[in-house]
Amino acid sequence: MEKVDDDVDAFLRDSARADDLIALDRLLREALPTADRVLWRGRMWGGTDQAIIGYRSISQPRPRGAEADWFLVGLAAQQNHLSIYVNAAEDGRYLVQSWGDRLGRVKIGAAAVTFRSAEDLDLDELRDLVVRAGEVEDERSEIGTQRHASTPPDS
């Protein structure tokens, strides 16, 4: 997946699921008011081509290798469902795994919430989840900055 310069608002308007995507985009932007919003396109794991709106760019740690540029929260429409990806973890678990039973008629993956329409979601709980994801990322970023600042420069 790569960031692209496509107009996110045009992408939302032109989607077959425009009503749901626009409503969810509004909620995500309210929950992460200072976040950037970028369209990502490319092949996801599983081999499918995807377009995902990413909210708040992050450097995500990877189990093997360097950190990767990614998004904190993503919104995507697939053929038969919508997905929200929340790439924030607390106490060793992705937040969606802890919040899944509160989000409505959804399926929970490792970091993904999938559902048929926005009506299937408890939007207040989703907003709270996304706000918490922003807080967790703020805490992670602050700790990383403190570690970096306390590391002596190479001589």
Taking the model in full, what pTM does it have? 0.89
Mind listing the pLDDT tens digit for each residue in 122-146?
Answer: 999 999 999 999 999 999 877 754 4
Instruction: Look up the domain containing 126 and give its range.
Output: 2-150
In a domain, 92, yes or no: yes
Give pLDDT, residue 21.
98
Give pLDDT, residue 139.
92
In a domain, 155, yes or no: no
- For residue 125, give both structure tokens: 């709980």
In a domain, 73, yes or no: yes
Of 42-56, 72-86, 134-148, the range with the lowest mean pLDDT is 134-148
Mind listing the pLDDT tens digit for each residue in 80-111?
Answer: 999 999 999 999 899 999 999 999 999 999 99
Q: Residue 36: how many CB atoms within 10 A of its CB?
A: 12
Left if phi > 0, otherwise alpha if psi is -120 to 50, otherwise beta: which for 143?
alpha
Cβ 13 vs Cβ 27: under 8 Å: no
Q: Structural domain tally of the chain?
A: 1
